[in-house]
Structure 1
């Protein structure tokens, strides 16, 4: 680990304070170790060995962030509410608002064994039948999220579902403006203005109202060990709220690739292995989702271009954090070129050049 990386980890956690907190909450342990998980690009994830238990601590990154972008206690609240439902989530253990422990809000959950399919598929899934089941599990679990009676699990006040889609367009434009306060000194991204204007003019007037995850995609779920593929947990609920389920589906579809697709504009964010024989197409996923939920997926160009617009906004926020020295993620400086590429992709979806 580099000196800079060591310094960044020191900003994330006071190990002595965390150990004292865990002992008070969970009881003593004969071993303790902390390791930063470097795969995520938003909230920070720390793997913690606590005796014979494997834990995860989630906290926001250090430094200034845009409004509500890293609300880990909100993430904890929704996962805690889902503990005994059809939606698989990790076991929640503790939440803390005392900044004297690690310097921010944080929460603790059990680590779920299995695989996150990010860079490739595990060997046990490398056949057409297993690949088909991966896509089915992904869609069926999203359907379970959207079918949930959120009132019954205590999430009736978790958001304002009416007007959600319009607020998404407004919110992500505001997030971009926050990022541009710093990043525009390096370069500008005029295509994002065109995309934002088109989205504002094409917001669907009505939409269903459900619990939405906000970041639902293949590498935000865990598949259990063994076969056939079984989705064991949905992770990364930091943007969950009540709103438009079609926005969740459009987000998931914006990451899912078909063999006919052009090369991805950001290779690191593309699950290219799902182009292999056996994985469902985007249309297959939509048809299964509609059959499971009764929700018709309309306005595809809007929802997928909104997804890429949001991804570009996140990238621009990452770029600001890099410029301000508030991140140690090697992807963040790459956003100088990748956000403009994402903006161009959103424009192609709007123009019909990347059909469903």
Structure 2
């Protein structure tokens, strides 16, 4: 894990910020230790709290988790109904931090990752958490991309098919390393089913790419209100129901028997009384967008397939000695478990 010295040169960052925000005597930097991709730094600049997003150290320009693309979408959404942090600046060169980066204001509030916020523990608040998640997703999917300058932000035609192809390729890469330890034959059946069931037509919209509870921040106070949507690095133009399927994967229902793996990946408190069920999330999404959610099994299976592919890559990196993360090791059994999960959705054993 890189430390702060690997990520920021304070002597170079300070004049960059001073030129844009004015001088200050109070300047601090702290690395945020959550996440698996782009690096997040919390910066104190006088009485202003900032966030810097940059790629991990050692990445090349071609593979550096394009933070400038993330900046582009967050900046474009500033005056829309989608809650996002206020952008401050971007820097495309490597002279300040050794890589491109961007700066935004830090939002006040809380992220619900695995623990329910005490202030949201009553029935009304629990219902509102789900409603906020759906309403904000609907706001993302109904953005006028032409009006905000994102009309060339991706190629929505054929998006779902490309997702199937992409994650199949990731499996193939990982299997070169992992099959010597164990095989996952069910994954091939899942991939074939997805390939045969890609919807002929789909809506085109801005998609977030990783929309779930721990990628939004809830503003202080009650009732629950999303103050900002975070982590836009996977965003593009595509099929919005892929976002919905991803949200549903990370939203356990009360009757779900969660495996130990899922208990480490998804919040379990959505199983508690008064939280919206997956079916209720879909109904509200249809109401807010005017879109009828057809082929829900495809999008839910695709979400599991994507997560399983990520898991298989994690396991491959663990076997290569590139990570000692406990989650990566858990994927030896976790990916076969997810393959079974996807198969149960296909067979109708896990309805909405």
The residue that corresponds to 1:43 in the other structure is 38
Residues 1:105 and 2:100 are matched in the alignment: yes
State the alpha-carbon separation in 1 of the partners of residues 33 and 167 from structure 2: 25
Q: Secondary structure at the match of 1:266?
A: helix
8 Å Cα contact 1:8/1:328 also seen in 2: no
1:340 to 329, 336, 339: 336
State the alpha-carbon separation in 1 of the partners of residues 328 and 181 from structure 2: 14
Residues 1:295 and 2:320 are matched in the alignment: no
Q: CA 1:236–1:201 in structure 2 vs 1: closer, same or farther (change >3 Å)? A: same
Residues 1:131 and 2:126 are matched in the alignment: yes
Q: TM-score normalized by structure 1?
A: 0.90
Deviation, structure 1 residue 322:
4.8
8 Å Cα contact 1:41/1:329 also seen in 2: no
Q: CA 1:183–1:159 in structure 2 vs 1: closer, same or farther (change >3 Å)? A: same
State the alpha-carbon separation in 2 of the partners of residues 307 and 230 from structure 1: 26
Q: CA 1:91–1:318 in structure 2 vs 1: closer, same or farther (change >3 Å)? A: farther
State the alpha-carbon separation in 2 of the partners of residues 202 and 317 from structure 1: 25
What are the equivalent positions in structure 2 for 1:223-262 lying under 5 Å apart? 223-262=218-257
State the alpha-carbon separation in 2 of the partners of residues 11 and 321 from structure 1: 22
The residue that corresponds to 1:11 in the other structure is 6
What are the equivalent positions in structure 2 for 1:106-185 lying under 5 Å apart? 106-184=101-179
| RMSD of aligned Cα (Å) | 2.4
Deviation, structure 1 residue 155:
0.3
Structure 1 unmatched ranges of 5 or more: none
Q: TM-score normalized by structure 2?
A: 0.91
State the alpha-carbon separation in 2 of the partners of residues 177 and 189 from structure 1: 11
Deviation, structure 1 residue 325:
6.3
1:88 to 71, 83, 87: 83
Deviations 1:17-67 (A, max 9, x none): 3334333333323222222222222222222222222111112234569x8
What are the equivalent positions in structure 2 for 1:14-29 lying under 5 Å apart? 14-29=9-24
Q: CA 1:193–1:12 in structure 2 vs 1: closer, same or farther (change >3 Å)? A: farther
State the alpha-carbon separation in 2 of the partners of residues 111 and 328 from structure 1: 31
State the alpha-carbon separation in 2 of the partners of residues 176 and 283 from structure 1: 30
- Specify which structure has the bigger relative contact order, considering alpha-carbon pairs within 8 angstroms and separated by 6 or more residues: 1
Q: CA 1:197–1:105 in structure 2 vs 1: closer, same or farther (change >3 Å)? A: farther
The residue that corresponds to 1:277 in the other structure is 273
Deviation, structure 1 residue 326:
5.8
Q: Across the two proteins, how many residue pairs are aligned to each other? A: 351
State the alpha-carbon separation in 1 of the partners of residues 288 and 63 from structure 2: 32
Deviations 1:119-152 (A, max 9, x none): 1121111100011011111101111111111110
State the alpha-carbon separation in 1 of the partners of residues 3 and 177 from structure 2: 21
